[in-house]
Amino acid sequence: MSPAECVSCSNCPTPCKDIEAYRLEIEFKQAFDKARAELEVPTDLKVPPRLDDTVEKAVEENGGPILEFIPNAGRYFESGAYRDTDVGKNDYEGYLSPLVIEAFGDYMTEHRMQSDGRLRASDNWQKGIPQDQYMKSMWRHFLAVWKWHRYGEDPLELEDALCALLFNVMGYLHEHLKEQG
């Protein structure tokens, strides 16, 4: 957009340099005000101080206009408490199943006893197991899951095989992430 086409240049902190970023900043503030009105948040509550600098900072850090528009700047609760938005933050409570975590924990506890009779530490696997060993084990346990899927054998065997597969996938990923730094 050229300076002649811009209707906001008189208010723009960086005239015509980052028109798209400035437009997004205005839309962001309008959406924030609309959300605040819809939630009946008292008007004396201010936009968090850092919000005014969000667009300018993002443009500086990313070398260009913001590519993602986040319509909600935060969450206000009936108590008056304010929390930053949870958009873009990991939602482990939603991503993970407590049933699966519990079954996996039971599986891991059951398999802590080594063949020599000693109890291994729960995080023993994090010391490092070669990825090729994880891969071989993943295939064996995947085959057991696949057979169960096709022929429907003992459901306890399925749970055991799925937990073993989960262990090996997690171990393989753990080693990969360690390599990545």
**Residue 5 falls within a domain, yes or no?**
no
Taking the C-alpha atoms of 98, 102, 107 and 112 in order, what is their torsion angle to the nearest 10 degrees?
120
pLDDT confidence bin for 54, thresholds 50/70/90: low
Of 84, 100, 135, the domain-final residue: 84
pLDDT tens figures, 75-92: 777 888 888 877 788 999
Give the pair of three-digit tokens for residue 112: 């802590």
**Residue 13 falls within a domain, yes or no?**
no
**Residue 54 falls within a domain, yes or no?**
yes
The reply to whether 40 and 80 lie within a common domain is yes
Domain that holds residue 52: 19-84
Of 84, 101, 136, the domain-final residue: 84
Q: Is the pTM of this model over 0.85?
A: no
pLDDT tens figures, 28-45: 777 777 776 776 655 554
The reply to whether 118 and 136 lie within a common domain is yes
The residue type found at 172 is: Y
DSSP letters, the chain, are: --TTT-S-TTT-SSTTTSHHHHHHHHHHHHHHHHHHHHTT--TTSPPPGGGGGHHHHHHHHHTS--S---S--EEE-TTS-EEE--TTS--HHHHS-HHHHHHHHHHHHHT-B-TTSPBPPTTGGGG---HHHHHHHHHHHHHHHHHHHHH---HHHHHHHHHHHHHHHHHHHHHHHHHH-
CA atoms within 13 A on the CB side of 43: 2
| pLDDT of amino acid 21 | 66
The reply to whether 173 and 136 lie within a common domain is yes
Domain count, the chain: 2
Write down the mean pLDDT value for the chain: 78
Residue 82 bridge partners (DSSP) = 76
In this predicted structure, the answer to whether residue 26 has a pLDDT above a threshold of 60 is yes
- Find tokens 């913001």 and name the residue: 66
pLDDT tens figures, 106-148: 999 999 999 999 999 999 999 999 999 999 999 999 999 999 9
Q: Are the beta carbons of 168 and 134 closer than 8 angstroms?
A: yes
